[in-house]
Amino acid sequence: MLPPLPLAALGAALAGLASAQVHTDCNPLNTTCPPDPGFGTEADFYFNSTPPAELWETIAGTVSYDAKKGAAFTINKQGDSPTIRTKFYFFFGRTEIFLKVAPGTGIVSSMMWLSDVLDEVDWEFLGSNKSFASTNYFGKGEQDWHNGGMHPMTGMQDDYHNYTTVWTKEKIDWYIDGALVRTLLSKDANNSRTYPQTPMRMSIGIWAGGDPSLPEGTRKWAGGDTNYADGPYTMYVTQAHVTDFSTGKEYSYGDKSGSADSIKMAPGNSTAYQFLQRPPQQSIADKWRLLPAKTKIGIYAGASFLGALIIGTLLFYIKARRGREANAAGFSDYDGHDGHRGGLSDADAYHVPATTAASPLAPSAWGAPPPVTISPSPPYRDAREPAPDAHGFDFGLNAPNSESPLLRSQSPNAPSSHPP
């Protein structure tokens, strides 16, 4: 166990007490609860747009998504604490997040794992402290001021950094940008009694530890009272990685001990795994590219015919209208008396409308159809087809025994995604 760090540990304990989001809908220590949906695989998640509702949920506030900055967790006013959480659980595993810490007195940027029995593993960053990142853990909801750790680093509010946590039955390792900063052995957590050891979900969020409504000790740990008028305060997360070291479809508690040995794993593929394995939905452009050449030719021909028909109809209408106008002009100059006796005896009595080079009648004699020019029809394109989007929510799925490219490029010194 790490040597006692009074300031960090006290603050971590107070933070745990203050966070209203640390709760469980059903605690297996007290009653029989429904199984937890497993993950049973590994995946990378990119927060350049709203993540799929099948895998993630927003449990507090509103989170916005940007193609470059990623997910934006913003505190605009008192009471804001935007948070997202996985809908699936992992039973021992590894997570990575690429996070840019929010500035601001009393503002806490955080990543938390939490189980149904309130086992907990945390990363926490204070907006008023640009020199240290903090880690923490709790077992079965028991608060202990010895649990916290502080780790020197710089630039956490200026750029994105990789915060990795690797969890096995024997130990938990915390890494910053691939460098190991802390190890907790199971035996050092009250002889494993308060060691986190039950299926977890991951939450990412921001909250105001300096809110005036919180206890004075919590506000002091957070760096002081939060002045919401100085906001907004925003934390950004561009991507995350989750690996489940187990392969269960569901995880359930065999008894009320809250121990790892009591967890039962249902065989089969999880709902999350099945979702990730689905073929991507095709856009209209993709469907067009997959059409046979003969079908495309038929569509081109049909579009060309329709265009020619429309143009021909329009020209016929123009010609008929001009004819009616010409007849009306001729009759206006007709002598009623002569016409009554002999009708139209002189062609000069009918005045042909003057023509110009710009007129469609100029190249031809009166009465002859004007020339018709049909431009080639453009390739068929559904008007509802959206422009190609270079962004959007994306995730990669690797086979359980493969190495994540995210880990290779960002955590060269961290161990593999799989349990030792």
d(C-alpha 158, C-alpha 231), whole Å: 17
Render 187-208 in DSSP notation, one character per residue.
GGTTTTTTS--S-EEEEEEEEE
- Cα–Cα distance, 95 to 393 (Å, whole number): 19
Both tokens assigned to 410: 């960002």
According to DSSP, the residues that pair with 98 across neighbouring strands are 162, 239
d(CA 287, CA 254): 49
The one catalytic residue among 42, 54, 57, 124: 124
CA–CA dist 59, 314 (Å, integer): 59
Q: What is the distance between the alpha carbons of residues 73 and 234, in angstroms, rounded to a whole number?
A: 5
How far apart, in whole angstroms, are the C-alpha atoms of residue 38 and residue 25? 17
DSSP 45-81: EE-SSPPPTTTEEEEES-EEEETTTEEEEEE-STT--
What is the pLDDT, as a whole number, of residue 397? 34
Distance from C-alpha of 15 to C-alpha of 137, rounded to nearest angstrom: 11
Helix, strand, or coil here: 216? helix
Alpha-carbon gap, residue 78 to 228, rounded angstroms: 7
Find the catalytic residue in 42, 54, 96, 120.
120
Rounded to the nearest 10°, the torsion over CA 237, 414, 114, 241 is: 40
Give the pLDDT of the chain (420 residues) as one tens digit per residue.
Answer: 333 334 444 444 334 434 435 778 999 999 999 999 999 999 999 999 999 999 999 999 999 999 999 999 999 999 999 999 999 999 999 999 999 999 999 999 999 999 999 999 999 999 999 999 999 999 999 988 889 999 999 999 999 999 999 999 999 999 999 999 999 999 999 999 999 999 999 999 999 999 999 999 999 999 999 999 999 999 999 999 999 999 989 999 999 999 999 999 999 999 999 999 998 776 777 656 666 776 757 777 766 777 777 887 777 777 777 766 655 555 444 443 443 333 333 334 333 444 444 433 333 333 333 333 323 333 333 333 333 333 333 333 333 333 333 333 344 445 555 555
State the DSSP code for 39: -
The pTM for the full model equals 0.67
Local structure of residue 228 (DSSP, 8 states) = G
For residues 51 and 21, give the distance between their C-alpha atoms in angstroms, rounded to a whole number. Answer: 21
241 in Cβ contact with 406 (< 8 Å): yes
Is residue 120 flagged as an active site residue?
Answer: yes
Active site residue 96: no
Residues 336, 337, 342, 348, Cα dihedral to 10°: -50
Which DSSP letter does residue 419 get? Answer: -
Per-residue pLDDT at 237? 99
CATH of 35-272, one of 2.60.40.10, 3.20.20.140, 3.40.50.300, 2.60.120.200: 2.60.120.200
Contact 238, 47 (CB under 8 A): yes
- Ordered by start, the domain boundaries in the chain are 35-272
pLDDT for position 418: 54
Q: Answer whether 240's CB lies under 8 Å from 96's CB.
A: yes
Contact (Cβ atoms closer than 8 angstroms) between residue 16 and residue 143: yes
Of all helices (H) and strands (E), which one includes residue 319? helix 293-332
